[in-house]
Structure 1
Amino acid sequence: MHEVRAVVAKSKGAPVSVETILVPDPGPGEALVKVEACGVCHTDLHYREGGINDDFPFLLGHEAAGRVEAVGAGVTDLAPGDFVILNWRAVCGECRSCKRGRPWYCFATHNAKQKMTLADGTALSPALGIGAFAEKTLVAAGQCTKVDPAAPATAAGLLGCGVMAGIGAAINTGNVTRGDSVAVIGCGGVGNAAIAGARLAGARKIIAVDIDDRKLDMAVKLGATHTVNSKSTDAVEGIRAATEGNGADVVIEAVGRPETYKQAFFGRDLAGTVVLVGVPTPDMVLDLPMIEVFGRGGSLKSSWYGDCLPSRDFPMLIDLYLQKRLDLDAFVSETIGIDDVEKAFERMHHGDVLRSVVVF
């Protein structure tokens, strides 16, 4: 058993606290990971606010990289010292999707079976089955993806969630390819990652849409060719103006609201694709004229974790980073300590950062 410091959300809406938690030695199929860095993702704030479920207390943090410290029985593809990115899609290989050759849609992903606990024995619910705002965490071995250790953990860990979700929304879900026009609505961490992904895929026009000029400036650095501040310019008209009046081939909605989804729907070209990667809340309802859904053709898609396969995508993207073709460092707005997570949530709420990253 390992005693470590970790960030815990004990009740809905209450500030997080740093607690001593107990982490078991790995059992069969599990791995103990010493966390080196973990990004502060909006999903962690959703957990704290009770927006995911009410299984408090939560052990927060999930966008992480670190070193394997120990593995349990039956683990053959990991060894102590391996540098890994943690993922929340440890594919099972047995579900109907895996058996059809689509493991990126795995419907039975798995986590560590043993529970991490507070010092008094209260079981913790790890965010997305990871719980990485902790000096050490226990995960299923399949949640560890080995990558080139030349990459710093601050950059590598971001692929564990938000940056992968955005890049994957463009490349995997949206199937952006050479010569496409792409619009991205919402230029936070995920949206700007979608812009970076569209650039990697060879899009000829990339239109960034947001209400914050600071985020639009970052979008340009990551590959946007056009910007639309939708506070002052209608988003759909702005997208059309940049695409000869036609709309974009692919529009990625990275906000998760009905209003912005409608902008994406009407901002795409005929037979174009809409990709929803922004996460809505359960109460949101979308109202669209059905004749428009039929008449405009194309595809309306949702992107789960960028439809990524960690074993395929993480090493590839780390290689592109090391070749200086993907600027992961640009997403790191600041590095902080474990005691600063609550302040980081506040900065995130005000749009001051793309990512705060906890460094251990």
Structure 2
Amino acid sequence: MAQEVRGVVAHGKGEPVRVETILVPDPGPGEAVVRVRSCGVCHTDLHYRDGGINDEFPFLLGHEAAGTVESVGAGVTDVAPGDFVILNWRAVCGTCRACKRGRPWYCFSTHTAAQPMTLADGTALTPALGIGAFAEKTLVAAGQCTKVDPSASPAAAGLLGCGVMAGLGAALNTGQVTRGDTVAVIGCGGVGSAAVAGARLAGASKIIAVDLDDRKLETARGLGATHTVNGGGGTDVVKAVQELTGGFGADVVIDAVGRPETYQQAFYARDLAGTVVLVGVPTPEMKLELPLLDVFGRGGSLKSSWYGDCLPERDFPMLIDLYLQGRLDLDAFVTETIGIEDIEPAFEKMHHGDVLRSVVNL
């Protein structure tokens, strides 16, 4: 029997979100109902509200979440009622060409719950990234639930569901930062700051944080940046990074902004044979021009990082263990905790760069 819960719904492009009654069905085969405990407010939720993802309104927003499994459907064996889980939007299929080649972090056929959640009048909702976690409970595919140590703070743990994992993974998985590397991170919001933390975990010798906001640069220092560069006021970011790396450029440069101008900075701020990682998400109209001779002549790797190239079942438990050991400060990403009615003010704070993450406690 479907359960009535409160959830945050976006009905139209740019319209303020509303807290409404939604219906969550009992889990079917391969599905799970999760009691959401915390969910971060991510830029992707704002993109959904503003029609930047698609036009499949109404959306049930929220996706950066942790909670407790309440019930599971037939055939579910990996999680059980009572398990503390982080929700993810990469439920790997195990059968696509990427999975069969032993690269499940690239899974090309990830899946979500088959049944829809609905409004009280029966209107089907589109859950953000197949999750929809600005709600007291949500229905997901069981593969979207990753069991982790229940002693972790739900507010901190849930952030691994999207932005923080994207940044950590950009450094650890995609960029393959290793001991002694020099690293530059352009853009130090939630994703970029997490990339700084990832570079620190990997043992980078020098970590250069680049941003236009001194508040974000100070936060990046707290997470492991050894040097900071404010790119405003006509500062030549490429030259600044080169000067901090013996004139050579960084071994790995991570673009956490995703604009043509920041990508060009990343491209030229890396050392010869270095690596550029694009983890900031560009918009469809953006174009990039680079001299092909420079692409050839500088060598190295130009990579895009999808979700930090993470494999949730591998990465989430490991990162939570590091958090509980005091080696990864996930709490530093939680700027404030808010209620389910406070999403619109949280969007405004995020837009102005006032927070790394607002986290909804449910």
> How would you bin the TM-score normalised by the shorter chain?
over 0.9
The residue type equivalent to 1:242 in the other structure is L
Counterpart of 1:10 in structure 2 is: 11
Q: Structure 1 residue 353 and structure 2 residue 355: aligned? A: yes
Percent of aligned pairs with the same residue?
81
The residue type equivalent to 2:148 in the other structure is V
The residue type equivalent to 1:32 in the other structure is V
| Alpha-carbon displacement from aligned partner over 1:286-339 (angstroms, at most 9, x marks no partner) | 111111111110000000000000000000000000000000000000000000
- Structure 2: which 5+ runs fail to align? none
Report the TM-score, using the length of structure 1 for normalisation.
1.00
**Partner Cα separation in structure 2 for residue 297 and residue 2 of structure 1:** 56
Counterpart of 2:293 in structure 1 is: 291
The residue type equivalent to 1:213 in the other structure is D
The residue type equivalent to 2:294 in the other structure is E
Q: What's the C-alpha RMSD, in Å, of the aligned pairs?
A: 0.5
Counterpart of 1:123 in structure 2 is: 124
Q: How does 1:96-135 map to 2 (within 5 A)?
A: 96-135=97-136
| Alpha-carbon displacement from aligned partner over 1:119-170 (angstroms, at most 9, x marks no partner) | 1111100000000000000000000000000101001000000000000000
Q: How does 1:190-339 map to 2 (within 5 A)?
A: 190-232=191-233, 233-339=235-341
Find the partner of 2:344 among 342, 345, 351.
342
- Structure 1: which 5+ runs fail to align? none
| Secondary structure in structure 2 of the residue aligned to 1:293 | helix
1:198 deviation in Å? Answer: 0.2
Counterpart of 1:20 in structure 2 is: 21
| Alpha-carbon displacement from aligned partner over 1:44-67 (angstroms, at most 9, x marks no partner) | 001111111110111000000000
**Partner Cα separation in structure 1 for residue 240 and residue 50 of structure 2:** 34
Counterpart of 1:89 in structure 2 is: 90
The residue type equivalent to 1:178 in the other structure is R
1:221 deviation in Å? Answer: 0.1
| Secondary structure in structure 2 of the residue aligned to 1:231 | coil
Moved over 3 A (4+): none
1:238 deviation in Å? Answer: 1.1
**Partner Cα separation in structure 2 for residue 246 and residue 45 of structure 1:** 39
Counterpart of 1:62 in structure 2 is: 63
**Partner Cα separation in structure 2 for residue 16 and residue 255 of structure 1:** 26
**Partner Cα separation in structure 1 for residue 51 and residue 295 of structure 2:** 33
| Secondary structure in structure 1 of the residue aligned to 2:51 | coil
| Secondary structure in structure 2 of the residue aligned to 1:32 | strand
**Partner Cα separation in structure 1 for residue 334 and residue 265 of structure 2:** 29
The residue type equivalent to 1:59 in the other structure is L
Counterpart of 1:43 in structure 2 is: 44
**Partner Cα separation in structure 1 for residue 18 and residue 241 of structure 2:** 43
1:241 deviation in Å? Answer: 1.1
| Alpha-carbon displacement from aligned partner over 1:95-119 (angstroms, at most 9, x marks no partner) | 0000000000000000000000111
**Partner Cα separation in structure 1 for residue 171 and residue 143 of structure 2:** 25
**Partner Cα separation in structure 1 for residue 236 and residue 306 of structure 2:** 28
Counterpart of 1:173 in structure 2 is: 174
**Partner Cα separation in structure 1 for residue 3 and residue 318 of structure 2:** 33
| Secondary structure in structure 1 of the residue aligned to 2:197 | helix
**Partner Cα separation in structure 2 for residue 337 and residue 49 of structure 1:** 21
The residue type equivalent to 2:16 in the other structure is P
The residue type equivalent to 1:114 in the other structure is Q
1:234 deviation in Å? Answer: 1.4
**Partner Cα separation in structure 2 for residue 63 and residue 141 of structure 1:** 16
**Partner Cα separation in structure 2 for residue 97 and residue 90 of structure 1:** 13
